[in-house]
A and B are shown apart, each in its own frame.
Chain A
């Protein structure tokens, strides 16, 4: 069963379109990656899903409910959480406050939500009072994903969660993403590294605002044209 269906979405910024009739389906509890060269429209696709940019055409359905162009606040309250690539934390707030804001719409169960974040990122436990902007890049990424998990989402959108991280941290982060997915959260992520892509179960190759290929990770990795387009042969 699909938790998210994107049908023929055209979207962009102002008069400039970035996505041209993009369609994708995300299965419940799936771990799906979007890959593609820089400027392909990967981040814009996530922004269109979450309502951060307007969809000019097409339809987005989440949990059998059309959410196309809903206000972003309403979309996240319906069970979808988005961790953007840049500006993904509240830098002047403490780690604890970042997590608090992540659970803003959800009263109750606060302790269990925080415990769950700690179970994935135990490093944060000792840094709860630290200002998030003072943390290292890897720790900030943990805070960002932790904030996204505080709403206990059904679908987590991660935009290049390993961008700018050292190789050892990339390994750690994609393992965490696998764990999050195994805990029952559907994950749609923009994959920057081959490791992160390999961790996913299915993938879409986006190029020049259009889906060029889709399939299982194995199928995409075995496709020569995909290799040429994305992995540089």
Chain B
């Protein structure tokens, strides 16, 4: 039970990184970016690329990697942002100028998923890759098993979430991003160049996704479809927390991560006690959707959502 809670926090912290990016794009650009999972995957692969290009840096503390991993993730965040901004300039900006609807923008992003997935498969191949050897878990009291890398994953996620919050709350650009999300015409009438805000929204969203993908890559094998399976939890986290809410994305990510792990574990134990052979991990997305339905029945705009969002 406590082990599942810990796994849920690890999963939730990665979902949160993705969910913040999804909610930023949904709020400022006014569409659900289905390509966010593919951006997540691209970030993981860029980190793999840089890990292989950079000199070996050994390991640090009890982690399975050294400072090279942190540098590789940083370079991956930059590279992923550049790719995504180029996609925006070529595709989404053109559509915005033609007053494309949110539905059309969303469908275009869905098309981009397949382009990106094909591109990743062509460059890195369809086979799985690993950042390094799989690390053994350390046993803690009450049956909790945690790998040292997982402490890094949670800490790095929380630090990035905090930095993102402080950026949006206190910087001039962050305030302009929130103002644009509130009222784009008034933001423009205040001198905010909203196309620049759009670019910075993509940069922030892509950086967080790249970080999330890279941290997930520490835990699992890299596959061209790895982000696709994360897309539903990320979207669900945004809907549960409330579209456009930073706190909602954080809380939603944690709720989905923890509930998926906890409920899966509880149901698995229950089926085992009934001698029923059901593999509950296959039903995680269903658990996420049940959470959405329950929360939206009580709070139709999500936990922190704005009315009309």
Give the shortest distance, in Å, between B181 (CB) and chain A (any CB): 8
The tally of residues in B whose CB lies under 8 Å from a CB in A reads 19
Question: Is A92 a contact of B306 with CB atoms below 8 Å?
Answer: yes
Q: Does B299 contact A (CB under 8 A)?
A: no
Question: Is B182 a contact of A73 with CB atoms below 8 Å?
Answer: no
Q: How many A-B residue pairs have CB under 8 A?
A: 68
Residues of chain A from 85 to 124 with CB closer than 8 A to chain B in the complex: 87-93, 97, 100-102, 104-106
Q: Which residues of B contact A100 (CB under 8 A)?
A: 172, 175
A104 and B176 in contact (CB under 8 A), knowing A76-B191, A147-B190, A151-B191?
Answer: yes
Question: Is A101 a contact of B189 with CB atoms below 8 Å?
Answer: no
A88 CA to B189 CA, complexed, in Å: 10
Question: Is B186 a contact of A84 with CB atoms below 8 Å?
Answer: yes
A84 and B189 in contact (CB under 8 A), knowing A90-B178, A93-B182?
Answer: yes
A20 CA to B104 CA, complexed, in Å: 35
Question: Is A76 a contact of B190 with CB atoms below 8 Å?
Answer: yes
User: Could you say which of B176, B187, B191, B194 has the most chain A C-beta atoms within 10 Å of its C-beta?
Assistant: B191
Query: What does the 1/0 interface line of A129-148 toward B look like (CB < 8 Å)?
Result: 00000000000000000010
Question: Is B191 a contact of A105 with CB atoms below 8 Å?
Answer: yes
A220 CA to B139 CA, complexed, in Å: 87
Give the shortest distance, in Å, between B301 (CB) and chain A (any CB): 13
Question: Is A91 a contact of B182 with CB atoms below 8 Å?
Answer: yes
Residues of chain B from 148 to 189 with CB closer than 8 A to chain A in the complex: 172, 175-176, 178-179, 181-183, 185-189
A101 and B185 in contact (CB under 8 A), knowing A76-B190, A147-B190, A151-B190?
Answer: no
A102 and B182 in contact (CB under 8 A), knowing A92-B306, A93-B175, A97-B175?
Answer: no
A77 and B191 in contact (CB under 8 A), knowing A87-B185, A92-B306?
Answer: yes
Q: Does B110 contact A (CB under 8 A)?
A: no
Question: Is B179 a contact of A90 with CB atoms below 8 Å?
Answer: yes
Give the shortest distance, in Å, between A86 (CB) and chain B (any CB): 10
Q: Does B56 contact A (CB under 8 A)?
A: no
A101 and B188 in contact (CB under 8 A), knowing A73-B193, A92-B306?
Answer: no
Q: Does B287 contact A (CB under 8 A)?
A: no
Give the shortest distance, in Å, between B198 (CB) and chain A (any CB): 13
Question: Is A101 a contact of B306 with CB atoms below 8 Å?
Answer: no
Question: Is A72 a contact of B189 with CB atoms below 8 Å?
Answer: yes
A88 and B182 in contact (CB under 8 A), knowing A77-B191, A104-B172?
Answer: no
Question: Is B182 a contact of A92 with CB atoms below 8 Å?
Answer: yes
A87 and B186 in contact (CB under 8 A), knowing A93-B175, A93-B179, A101-B175?
Answer: yes
Q: Which residues of B contact A84 (CB under 8 A)?
A: 185-186, 189
Give the shortest distance, in Å, between B97 (CB) and chain A (any CB): 13
A82 CA to B179 CA, complexed, in Å: 16
Q: Does A3 contact B (CB under 8 A)?
A: no
User: Could you say which of B185, B186, B189, B193 has the most chain A C-beta atoms within 10 Å of its C-beta?
Assistant: B189
Q: Which residues of B contact A92 (CB under 8 A)?
A: 178, 181-182, 306
A82 and B189 in contact (CB under 8 A), knowing A93-B175, A100-B172, A100-B175?
Answer: yes
Give the shortest distance, in Å, between B166 (CB) and chain A (any CB): 14
User: Could you say which of B175, B181, B193, B194 has the most chain A C-beta atoms within 10 Å of its C-beta?
Assistant: B175
Q: Which residues of B contact A72 (CB under 8 A)?
A: 185, 188-189
Question: Is A101 a contact of B193 with CB atoms below 8 Å?
Answer: no
Question: Is B189 a contact of A52 with CB atoms below 8 Å?
Answer: yes
Give the shortest distance, in Å, between B248 (CB) and chain A (any CB): 12
Q: Does B95 contact A (CB under 8 A)?
A: no
A101 CA to B185 CA, complexed, in Å: 13
A93 and B178 in contact (CB under 8 A), knowing A87-B183, A87-B185, A100-B172?
Answer: yes
Please list 29 pairs of residues, one from A and one from B, whose beta carbons are closer than 8 Å in the complex, sorted by A's number: A52-B185, A72-B185, A72-B188, A73-B188, A73-B193, A76-B188, A77-B191, A84-B186, A84-B189, A88-B186, A89-B186, A90-B178, A90-B182, A90-B187, A92-B306, A93-B178, A97-B175, A97-B178, A100-B172, A100-B175, A101-B175, A102-B190, A104-B179, A104-B190, A105-B191, A106-B191, A147-B190, A151-B190, A151-B191
If A72-B189, A97-B179, A101-B192 are given as contacts, then 14 extra A-B residue pairs at C-beta distance below 8 Å, sorted by A number, are A71-B188, A84-B189, A87-B183, A90-B178, A90-B182, A92-B178, A92-B182, A100-B172, A101-B179, A101-B190, A104-B190, A105-B190, A106-B191, A147-B190
